[in-house]
Structures are given as C-alpha cells and as structure tokens.
Structure 1
Amino acid sequence: MATVTFDNIFHGDSPELGKLRFNAAGFGWKAYQSEDNNPMTYSGSDLRSATWIRVARNFQLRFTMRQSDKPRVIFDGFKRDELEKVKRTLDDYFHIKLEQRDGSLKGWNWGKAEVLGNELQFQVQGKPTFELPLKNVANSNIAGKNEVALEFNPAPPSKDRNPTARVADELVEIRFYVPGKSHKAKGSDAGSGDDSETEVDEDGNEVSAAEALHTMIKDKADINAVAGESIVVFEDILVLTPRGRFSLEFFADSIRLVGKSTDYRVPYTSIHRMFLLPKIDDIHIQLVLGLDPPIRSGATRYPFLVAQWPKDEEVDAELNLTEEELAQHEGLQRKYEAPTFQVVSRVLKALTKKKVTPPGNFRNVQGINGIKANVKAVQGELYFLEKGLIFMAKQPILIDFSKTESISFSRVGGGVASAKTFDMRVVSKSDTADHVFSAIPKEEVESITLFLTSKNVKLKNEIEEVMDVDPISDEEIDDASISSDDDKGKKNKKDKGKSQRRPADDEESEDDDFQSASSDGGSPSESDSEDESGMASDASDPMIEEIKKRQEAKKNKTKGDAPKKNKDISSDEEAKPKKKKAKNEVDSEEDDD
C-alpha cells in the first residue's frame, strides 16, 4: 500500500518533531525521539473536513473528526510549497476537499466573538484571529454588566510529551467586553447594533449581549457537565475564602459553588487536604479545603476554600442516590439529621475519599485548640495540628513539620520583663521565606513548647536567653560604670561634694547652678578640682594638653572675636567660678586636716 510522508511536523502543541504518513486506511504521526513507541493513528473514515491555515509554526493542517472525544486534530510545520501535495493526498485517499482559510493579521482587540460548535472564535472583519476550545474553559462569569470572564483549566501533560515537562506559559483568563442587548435575529451575533427585536428572559427583562454570550458558553463548555443530577444541595453557605454566600451542590465527581455573580466548579481530584477547625470564639466551625490547582477569581488565586457554620446549626439532608450507589461510597447514609458542619464534612469525606484532619491535642491556657497571632499586619488564628501548623486568615498558611528546620521564640522591641507577647519564627528547610507569627500571648510559651517537643520539632527559645541576662541589680550597674576612669572620677567628685555641701542649703543651690554650668565643659577650674581631689584627668597627659591647645587656637582663629566675647562675661557668671574656686580651696584644706 502506497504511503505519503511529510517530515518535520508538529502534532498539536507538542514541541517534538515527527513524521506524518498517509495511506488509504488513515494517517498516523510518530515523533523522531520515540521511534520505539507506537505511532498515533487515526482512521480515514472518521475524517470529516480539512483546513489549511497560516500559523506561527509555518502552515497548519487542521482535521475535523467525527469522534466527540477528539473533535479536532492539528498538525503544524508544513511548508508553503507542500500545499498541492496535501490537496492531492486528501483527495485521493479520503475524497475530501482541502479548504484554505486566511487569518486576520491586523492585531485589533475589537471584533466579534462567536460560539461555533465547541469553539469560541474571535473574528476581525470576518477573518478569524484566534480560537478557544470550550472544553478547556473551567468557569465563566459576568464581571460587571458587559464583561464576560473566562477561566481555563491548567493543561495536563499530554501522552506524547514528557510527563515531567511543564508548559512554560499558559492562558489562565481572558475577558470579553460585549456591549449592547441581545437580539433574537442574530443569536450569537448579539451586540451588533441591528434593529431586530431585543431578546427577553422569562421575567420579561431584556437580556444583555454579555449575558447571552455567557449562557451560550456555559451550555457548550464543560463547566456544568456532570453525570446525572446533584447528590445533595446545601443552600446559603457562608464562604470566607473566597468571600461570599454560595450554594454547595455535590455531584458524583465534583462540587459546585453557585453564587449570585460567580460560580466555581471544584473537581474532587483537586482537593488534597481537608481540615475541620473550631474557631477560638467557640461558636463557629471552619471547614478548610486545600486545592491543587487553586481556584481563581481574576488575578487572585485561592489555594484554600474556607466555609464556616455556627456550631448549633443543624440540617436535614437526604441524598439522591440509589442503594447501589450508596454501597460504592463507604460512610454515606441515605438521610442526615445533624449539625451542618458534620453532614458536609462526612459527605465530602465519602465522595473524595480523603481524610478530614481535626486539630491536634494542643490546648491553650483557656483549654481551646487555637491561639491568636499575627502575620505582619494580618490578624488570624494559629492551630497546631498533629503534623504541622495552619494559620487561618484571608489567605491561610499551611506548614508541615517535616519541612521545618526549627522553630524559635523571640521578642522584638521592648523589655522582656514587661512584654505580654512574643514572636514565633518558623524556619523552613527549603529556600522559602520563614514565617513569623507575632503578638502571641506570653503565657502560651509553656504549652506550645510542650506540644512541639512531643512532635520532635527543634526549638530555639530566645526568650529564656534574654531573661537570664536581664535581671541585673543596681549595685552591679554601679560597679560596671565605676570601672571607667572618667566615670569614676566624676562619681567620686559628686559623692564627695554631696557629703560636704549637704549641711548648707545655700551652698547646695549654688552647687546645682555650678553643675549645670560646668556640664558643658567650659569651667576653667574643672581640671584643678579633679587634681585637688586626687583623681587623674585628661589634662595631666602632655599629649592631651597639646591637642587641646591646638583646638583652642583653631577655634579662636575661625571665630575671630572669641577672645573679646570671653571677656564680656556677666557678673553672675564671674561669680560662679570664684565660688567654685573658693570651695575647692576649702575642700583641699579639709583634706589636709
């Protein structure tokens, strides 16, 4: 059987080159680097149409297939002069005419968005600019009145690509601004400005073009595709992250959050951790779901979904399952009549087959599981689990003990004796940034230390190191200060002056004036007083005296009139040095006695 081969061809979005071969039975592609593997083959009877279009990687051959699981097959890398060869091959083997399509190269961001089959096509002046497969759309929301926001699922590694390789860049969100009203005559061409009749909903309200496009995308995309009806629905649930009130609809393979303006669909396979935590107020219970990949709202990623209920809120729920379906899920019951948080967590545990983690055996001084703490300026609640920590705030933080190098207690600012709080730093084994939890009540040190020690976590208590050095008596401070020569001389002079001046009140007031005047170092008799009291001074050193003389000469030279100003001293200022000199003479006489 004759075959036609094309070399250096890409399959889909694969970065690997390969060979594309055609024969009368069908066609197949095989990568050059995987010659030992079987090629990817397709039957010629499943081929519906073929299109030739210019793309980034030269020319593209796009096949529309009859199979619903693979509606389109793409091959890139064809050269311009291979067009006639491709035409003859498709006509001879499959009797299909190759359609040539020109794309728009204007680069405009305004045009027309249409839903064609299972694709959303954006056209500029009647020519396609880009196409989006609706099967990759994870969520569609109305952002504002005239804006449709589409969120996309992350692309999993394909079979023909290395599973460890990850896509460098991915489209995660795109928004369409669709003004105007929807018209019945145009259908998907809503917002074109035609004078046809405006479409209305069941309540008689006019339908905007954005709402019409949003509804069409949700119908065609895999957003609400579920097997059968919902198992159970919980209405008006308060969700803290992302913030809002939602209805929780449980299906066989996913959970759907339906809000007023935003819907989320969370597959059970993306739920990898579940926690049930009582709040510190002892009134509410929080259910925390760890998601990978996280859900998105615009540019914000939410790796955790947090719902909250009052402890005493109860619900009566009946599951929409047959006896055979109940038997497939261990732990499910037909009817529930219990607190809401228990019913929701039990249903989730059975459907996801994941364990619901309660808080550890840690108790604070009030006997509650968690403690209040801050991360930077964010206030929250810190819970100690059996294998890690979780900080509950707007964006929760989960820390595993297995990835923790050490945990240290420290204080930042203020005296330790008067501090009422402390900080806890969690050092990671990896290169990620450390987590610092501040404003923790000081009385929780002992309970936290006992719990972390029982989990074999390496601790560094910096508080005790500071407290061991902190209690220093006044006598030790005085002894340390006396060891300095300058401080020693001043202290002895002060003590000696106090003992000799205390009997006379007038002299005591005069000494106060003297001390304030001499504290600037401008008293001419200060060095004499220190020499007569038997204390060494800097003036006794010839080198120091020479330095002082040079400084005084330089000072007089720069100021010019400084010597004249020294002579113009008031009578009160002249009296003070005289009194000090007279007093020093008395002191020296008493010492001689």
Structure 2
Amino acid sequence: MSHVTFDNIYIGESAELGKLRFNPAGFGWKSYKDENNTPTTFNGSDVRGATWLRVARNFQLRIFLRTPDKPRVTFDGFKRDEFDKVKRTLDEYFGIKLDHRDISLKGWNWGKAEVQNNEIVFEVQHKEAFELPLAQVANSNIAGKNEVAIEFNPQPIPGVGAREPDELVEVRFYVPGKSKKPKGSDAGSGGEETDVDDEGNEISAAEAMHNLIKQKADIGAAVGDSIVVFEDVLVLTPRGRFSLEFFHESLRLLGKSTDYRVPFNSIHRIFLLPKLDDLHIQLVLGLDPPIRQGATRYPFLVAQWPKDEEVDAELNLDDEEIAKYPDLQKKYEAPTFQVISRVLKSLTGKKVTPPGSFRNAQGVNGLKANVKAVQGELYFLEKGLIFIAKQPILIDFSKTESISFSRVGSGVASARTFDMRVVSKTDSADHVFSAISKEEVGPISQFLASKNVRLKNEMEDTMDLAGDMDLDDLSDDDDDASIPSEDEGRKKKKGKKVEKVQPRKGADDEDESEDEDFMDESSDGGSPSESDSDDEDSGMASDASDPMMEELRKKQAAKRAKNKKAQSGSDDEAPKKKKAKMDVD
C-alpha cells in the first residue's frame, strides 16, 4: 500500500519530533525518541476537514475528526513548500479539500470574539488572531458590566518537574452594548431588537457571551446532571453565599455574580473543625491549584454551618452508581455539615480530618490568635496546625524546624499574652502567631512535646524570676529605694536647705513660733552654703529629730541672724516686724 511521509513534525503541543505518515486507511504519528513505541493512529473515515495556517512552529495542519472525544488533531513543523504535497495527499486519500486560513498579524487588541464549535475565536478584520479551547476553560464570570473574565485550568507539562511553567491563566473580553436577537427571529418594525431573558430584562452582550461560554465549556451543568445541590451556603473564603452543586468529577459554587468550578482532583485536604463559639462547624478544603478571583488566589475554601442545622438530601444516582462509591447513601437526614462532609469524602476519596486531641485551658479544641493584624482561630491537629482566617495557613509538623514562645517585651512578667513563632524547614519566612493567652502555654507545650516537636520557651527565665519573688518584699524594696534616709539624702544633695527643713515639720510641736523665726531669719539673709557648712563643722547634721540638737540649731541660727543685721546697719525694721507678728500669734 502506498504512503506519504513527512519528517520533523510535532503532534499537538508536544515538544518531541516525529514523522507523520498518510495512507488510504488513515494516518499516524510516531516519535523519533523511541522507535519501538506504538504510533498514534487515526482512521481515515473519521476525517471531515483540514486547515493549513501559519503558527509559531512553521506551518500547522489542523485535521477535524468526527469522533466526539477528540474532535481535532494538529501537526506543526511543516515547511511552506509542502503545502501542495499535503493538499494532494488529503484529496487523494480522504477526498477532502485543504482550506488555507490567513492569520491576522496586526497585533490589535480589538476585534470580534465568537464561540465557534469548541473554541473561542478572536478575529481582527475577518482574520483569526488567536483561539482559546473551551475544554481548558475552568470558569467564566461577569467582571463589571461589560467584561467577561475567563479562567483556565493549569495544564501539567510532562518532564518539567517541580518548576511551574508560564501559562495563560485568565483573559478578559470587553463586550459593550446589548445582545441582539439572531437573524431570522421575530423583530419589530424598528429593525433589530435586543434580546431579553425569561423575565423580560434586556441581556447585555457580555452576559450573552458569558452564558454561551458556560453552555459550551466544561463548566457546571454542561458536565451532566448534578448529584445533589445544597442551597444558600455561607462561604467565608471566598466571601459570599453560594449554592453547592456536586457532580461526578467536580464541585460547583454558584453565586449571584461569581461561579467557581472545583475539580475533585484539585482537592487534596478536607478538614471539619468546630468554631470556638461552639455554635458553628467549619468545612475547610485545601485546593491545589487554587481557585482565583482576579489577581487573588484562594488555596483554601472555608464554609460554615450552624451545628444544629439539619437537611434532608436525596442523591440523583441509581443503585448501581451508588455502589461505585464507598460509604455513599441514597438518602440523608442529618446535620448539614455531616451530610456534606460524607458526600465529599465519598466522591473525592479523600479523608476528612477532624480536630486533634489538643484542648486549651477551657477544654476547647482551638484557641484565638493573631497573624499580624488579622484575628483568627488556631487549631492543633495530629500532624500539624491550621490557622483559620480570611487566608488560612496550614503548617505540617514534619516540615517544622522548631516552635518558640516569647513575650512582646523582654522581662515583662505581668504580660497576659505571648507570641508563638513557627520556624519552617522549607520556607524562608517564619509564621508568628501573637496575642495568645498566657494560660495556654502549658497545654500547647504538652501537646507539642507529645508530637516530638522541637520547642523553645524563651519565657522560662522571666516566669521563674516572677515566681521566686515575694510581692510584699517587692513593695518594701520599692519604698526603700524611692525614699532615701536623711543621712543618705544629705550626702547625695549636699548644701540644699530642703533636706533640713522637711524632717523638722514633724518634730517641732513644742514651739511653733521659734520655727517661724528660723524660717524668716534664714530667708532674709542667710545663705544656704554658709549655714550648711557651719552645721557640718559643728557636727549638727546627724539627727534633726533630737530636741537638744534642735535647740542648739535654733540658737546658732539666731546668733547668725543678729550678726548679719548688725553688719548691714538696718536692724530696726526687722525686729519691729517680728514683734508685731509674734503679738498677733
């Protein structure tokens, strides 16, 4: 049987080169890398069309098939002068005409976007600029009034390893105006009419495109009938109320303005945790890859229900289909969180992780903590810990280098809270959980010690110091330190009059008038330096409360004042004033 062969050809998006061979029965491609492998073959009777176009890897032959599971196959790497050879081969073997399609190379970002078959085609001046396969669309949302945001599933590339390749994750189309009725529909006398929904509301062009993408793409109901639907579920991350629709391969979150599709193979962890208020239950799903909303990534999905809320649910599955899933029942009549967690466990095949054996000082599973300015709830699990907030944090004990306790201020024994720092073996940044109640040190230390986690308590020295210190002794020491003795005071503040005056107020009850004489005379002319030096030379600075010493001090003060007045020559006015004052007293 005759055949035609083309060398150095790529199949699809593969990076491997191979050879493409045609014969009247069909065609096949085989890699150069392994000559002993089985070639990829296609039946010639399934070919229904072909297109030739320019791509990044020279020219591409696009062959359309009648098989629903693989409607199209592409081959890159053809040279320009091979067009005629390919055209004759397809006409001779399969009786089809090769269509030559021109590609727009203008680079414009405005044109016309249409949904054609299984692709979104963007045309510029009636020439194709690019196309997006609907099979890779993960989600479609209305962003604003006239924008359609399309998100794509991350595509794994074999041989890349842990490195994540650069790829398109989102594209937005600005679609202004209203949706028009298609040609041939009933239109009024004014010509074209805007399309309306079932309630008579006008449909924008962006909304019409969004609905068409959801219908054609692998989103929501396009996959098939839902198994069960839970209405009006409060989702904390991302925030909003959604309907949870379970399908065979995915979970759909349908909200008023957003719509998320979560494949079951992207759910890698499931947690069922009670809130600290003892009134609600939280279901936490760890997602990889995470769902996205604009530039925000959500690696965790957190839903919440009241603990006493119950639901009656019946699954849309027959007995044969239910038998394929372990522990799945036809009907449920139980609390909502139990039903949803059991359905998730059966459909995903993942284990539901309950709270660990940790109990705080009040006997509750978790405790309150802060990460920077965000307050949340911290739960200690059997193999790690999880912090539930707007953006949850999951830490595995096997990847933890150490956990340390510390206070905000060094030596603050009276602090009521402490910080817990988690040092990771893999991440360069540490996780610090702050504002944890001091009474939780004991329960946390015992639990971490039982899990063989390396623990550093930087508060032990401060706590031991506070424990060995007597509060009564502390108050006495403070008093002694703040009120020095008179002898020490005179040594520290030598030459200051206040050191002598202050103690005398409590010891001169015998003759108050003499005290006033001393105060007036000293203030009139006696210098502090002179009086202090005389007192120290005569040995009078030892005890101000002794009556004999007081008497001597007063006599000396009066003598000095008398000498001072005699020298100044003005000793008439002062005695008169003094006597008048004494008579009044």
Q: TM-score range by the shorter chain?
A: 0.7 to 0.9
Matched residue type, 1:134:
L
Instruction: Give the alignment partner of residue 169 of structure 1, picking from 166, 171, 179.
Output: 166
Question: Which ranges of structure 1 fall in alignment gaps of 5 or more residues?
Answer: 189-193, 482-490, 510-574
Distance 1:109 1:329, change over 3 A: same
Structure 1 residue 263 and structure 2 residue 292: aligned?
no
Provide the residue aligned with 1:48 in structure 2. Answer: 48
Distance 2:353 2:436 in 1: 24
How big is the shift at 1:425? Answer: 0.5
Q: Which amino acid aligns with 1:268?
A: F
The 1-side partners of 2:13 and 2:201 are apart by 44
Contact map agreement 2:489 2:499 (CA 8 A) in 1: no
Distance, in Å, in 2 between the alignment partners of 1:129 and 1:195 is 31
Identity over the aligned pairs, expressed in percent?
A: 70
**TM-score if structure 1 supplies the norm length?**
0.79
For 2:33, what is the secondary structure of its paired residue?
A: helix
Match of 1:36 in 2: 36
Give the total of aligned pairs: 509
| Alignment equivalent of 1:276, drawn from 265, 272, 296 | 272
Aligned mate of 1:234, from 211, 230, 233:
230
- 2:326 is equivalent to residue 330 of structure 1: yes
Question: Counterpart of 2:459 in 1: which secondary structure?
Answer: helix
Q: Matched residues in 2 for 1:179 and 1:94: separation?
A: 44
Aligned to 2:335: 339
Superposed CA deviations along residues 266-289 of structure 1, whole A, max 9, x for unmatched, are 222222111111111111111111
Partner of 2:351: 355
Q: Does the residue aligned with 1:128 lie in a helix, a strand or coil? A: strand
- 1:451 positional shift: 0.9
Alignment-derived partner of residue 99 in structure 1: 99
In structure 2, relative to structure 1, the CA distance for the partners of 1:331 and 1:494 (3 Å cut) is farther
SS of residue matched to 1:419: coil
Instruction: Describe the SS at the equivalent of 1:33.
Output: coil
In structure 1, the partner of 2:447 is: 451
Please, what TM-score do these two structures have when normalized by structure 2? 0.80
Q: Which amino acid aligns with 1:176?
A: F
Tell me, yes or no, if the aligned pair for 1:58 and 1:77 is still in contact at 8 Å. yes
* Corresponding residue number in structure 1 for 2:90: 90
Measured in 2, the distance between the counterparts of 1:180 and 1:116 equals 21
Distance of 2:254 and 2:37 partners within structure 1: 45
The Cα of 1:5 is off from its aligned counterpart by: 3.0
Letter in 2 for 1:216: L
Match of 1:302 among 298, 303, 309: 298
Alpha-carbon distance in 2 for matches of 1:80, 1:432: 52
Question: In the alignment, which residue of structure 2 is the partner of 1:535?
Answer: none
C-alpha change, 1:238 and 1:582, in structure 2 (3 Å) is: same
Q: Could you tell me which residue of structure 2 aligns to residue 484 of structure 1?
A: none
Structure 1 residue 4 corresponds to structure 2 residue 4: yes
2:176 to 175, 179, 195: 179
Q: Secondary structure at the match of 1:30?
A: strand
Residue in 1 that maps onto 2:120: 120
Q: Kindly name which structure, 1 or 2, has the bigger radius of gyration based on alpha carbons.
A: 2
Contact kept, 8 Å, 1:502 with 1:508, in 2: the verdict is no
Whether contact under 8 Å (2:7, 2:20) holds in the other structure is yes
Partner of 2:566: none
Shift of 1:36: 3.5
Query: Comparing 284-293 with 323-332, which one deviates more in the overlay?
Result: 323-332
RMSD: 3.2
Displacement after TM superposition at 1:416 (Å): 2.1
* Matching residue of 2:198: 202
**Contact 1:363–1:370 (8 Å) recurs in 2:** yes
Once the two structures are TM-superposed, the CA of residue 165 in structure 1 deviates from its matched residue by 7.2
Per-residue displacement from partner, 1:165-191 (whole Å, max 9, x unpaired)? 766211111111111111123599xxx
* 1:143–1:149 contact (8 Å) kept in structure 2: yes
Q: Superposition pairs for residues 110-509 of structure 1, below 5 Å?
A: 110-157=110-157, 161-162=158-159, 164=161, 168-186=165-183, 195-224=191-220, 228-413=224-409, 415-468=411-464, 495=491, 504-505=500-501
Q: CA deviation at 1:18?
A: 2.6
Matched residue SS, 1:436: strand
- CA distance in structure 1 between the aligned counterparts of 2:154 and 2:184, rounded to whole angstroms: 31
The alignment partner of 2:241 has SS state of strand
Q: CA deviation at 1:498?
A: 7.0
